[in-house]
Amino acid sequence: MSSIERVAAFLRQHRLRESDVDVAAVQGAFLEEMDAGLAGRPSSLAMIPAYVTIDRPVPADTVVTVMDAGGTNLRVGTVRFSSAGVPEISDFERRPMPGVGVAVSRDEFFDCLAERLRPMAKASSRLGFCFSYATEISPDCDGRLLYWTKEIQAPDVVGCQIGAELNRRLQAMGCGTKRIVILNDTIATLLAGKSLGAARRYEDYTGVIVGTGSNAAYVEQNANIRKLGGLPAGAMAINMESGGFGRCPRTDLDEAFDATLKDPGTQILEKMTAGGYLGGLGLQVLRTAAREGVLSPAAGAVLASWKDLSTKDLDDFLANPFRPGPFQNDAFTAADLEAVMLLGTAILRRAALLIAVHITTPVLKTGHGRSPLHPVCVTVDGSTYYKTTALQSRVEEHVRRILGERGVHAELVRVDDAPLIGAAVAGLTA
């Protein structure tokens, strides 16, 4: 058997091919979980109401402080929109996110955030804080962290009111308190698309992140958010926390990889699609392939000795298997490299299809985009989406097919610095 045939048999046996994903079934399960989450029934989707409406005018020439806590970086700056609605970001600074790699206490975590804000304490009395974790939002737009994802190590922060804790630290530093608006990065991304897309007259807006983690947001009618009684008529954005979607067709390889992580059994879709995990999943797949004779024993021994494999290293190899990197090791024969290429590509192809399902399901849930005059605007953010080889083009192809078959029109849109811009919109309008 050639290495190509051995890989094909391996992918078939472990059900790791795109064709092993039944798109209609996954989409149906997704919609069911969305409804259950909105009704407050058990669901793998938290479906968190954001208390953000998308139609408030954004004041021009008003400075707002913004902060963006993501899976890797903590970014701060100030934003001002011109009278033409063009955002201008200033005082921009990027530092590592506290709790990445090294555990921090609650005080260390909030002190670190407050320290980052101190230099711009006088810039504005308002702070739009894009906090990219599962956070329950209250009607006053503060947020309580429900649980960490992306392997952040700051366990005492779970359950805290993020805005109130931060204000306490700012006050103690003599910086005064601020009107802090907490929002998820998907909501910020949706708002960024809305604030810059007005001229196109989209019918609706969604926001999607494919970065270290993955998640989506869309706008739901208040009447359908059955777990919250007494809402006025209208609509609000919902943070789906869809990286947690639990009814994906997992393979034994996904399960084995998940068992090596800090939070097994959670964030199932995220672990099949997001940059924080694709490299690790790749290493799991390659090691299993070596054990099953798809790769040479020498390559298997090298793979077994690696502590981890980053998504970037895997992707760099797929982009050019001959550039320097971990796979440039004499233990890998040409047949091994060919097999690594095919296995890595299979993981990314499946990820692309699942990301397309992830993107299209909230679009379908809106019921909008029936006219090509007024498509749904899907703003996508996240370095994994834009930097991983061929991921974006593969996703776009699937999205076009899935929505085209249903007569739904959507445009995938990129807004640079969407989390910061959306945080500014929320900080100025909520």
List contacts with ligand BGC (CB under 6 A): 71, 132-134, 149-150, 184-186, 209, 211, 213-215, 241, 243, 270
In the three-class reduction of DSSP (H, G, I as helix; E, B as strand; rest coil), residue 40 is classed as coil
Q: Which is nearer to ligand BGC, 193 or 375 (CB)?
A: 193
Q: How far is the CB of 50 from ligand BGC (least distance, A)?
A: 11
Nearest distance in Å: CB 189, ligand BGC? 9
Structure tokens at 170: 């700012």
Residue 190 vs 309, nearer CB to ligand BGC: 190
Closer CB to ligand BGC, 65 or 184, in the complex: 184
Name the minimum Å distance from CB 390 to ligand BGC. Answer: 21
Question: Of 430, 426, 422, nearest to 197 (Cα)?
Answer: 422
- In the complex, minimum distance from the CB of residue 258 to ligand BGC, in angstroms, rounded to a whole number: 14
> Mapping DSSP to helix (H, G, I), strand (E, B) and coil, where does residue 430 land?
coil
Smallest separation, CB 382 to ligand BGC (Å): 7
> The sheet that has 48-49: what strands, in order across it?
48-49, 235-239, 214-221, 204-210, 376-381, 410-413
We find the least distance from the C-beta atom of residue 75 to ligand BGC, in angstroms, to be 13
Which residues lie below 8 Å from residue 305, measured CB to CB, with a gap of 6+? none
Instruction: State which residue has the least CB distance to ligand BGC.
Output: 213
Strands 87-96 and 126-131: unpaired
User: Is the separation of the CB atoms in 163 and 117 below 8 Å?
Assistant: no
Backbone phi, then psi, for 221, in 5-degree steps? Answer: -65, 135
Nearer to ligand BGC by Cβ, of 167 and 184: the residue is 184
Amino acid identity of residue 308, one-letter, is: D
Question: CA torsion 242→400→414→134, rounded to 10°?
Answer: 0
Q: How far is the CB of 417 from ligand BGC (least distance, A)?
A: 15
Please tell me the distance from the alpha carbon of residue 309 to that of residue 315, in angstroms, as a whole number: 10
First to last CA, the chain: 62
Choice between 124 and 161, CB closer to ligand BGC: 161
How near is the Cβ of 302 to ligand BGC at its closest, in Å? 31
138 DSSP assignment: P
Please say whether the beta carbons of 88 and 66 come within 8 A: no
Q: Using the minimum distance from each CB to ligand BGC, give the nearer residue, 270 or 315.
A: 270
DSSP 67-128: EEE-SSEEEEEEEEE-TTS-EEEEEEEEEEPTTSSS---HHHHHHHHHHHHGGGTTT-SEEE
Tell me the residue type at 256.
Answer: A
Comparison of 134 and 289: residue with beta carbon closer to ligand BGC: 134
DSSP H or E segment with residue 205: strand 204-210
Measured from the CB atom, is 71 or 98 closer to ligand BGC?
A: 71
Residue number with CB closer to ligand BGC (135 or 288): 135
Q: Min. distance of Cβ 301 from ligand BGC in angstroms?
A: 34
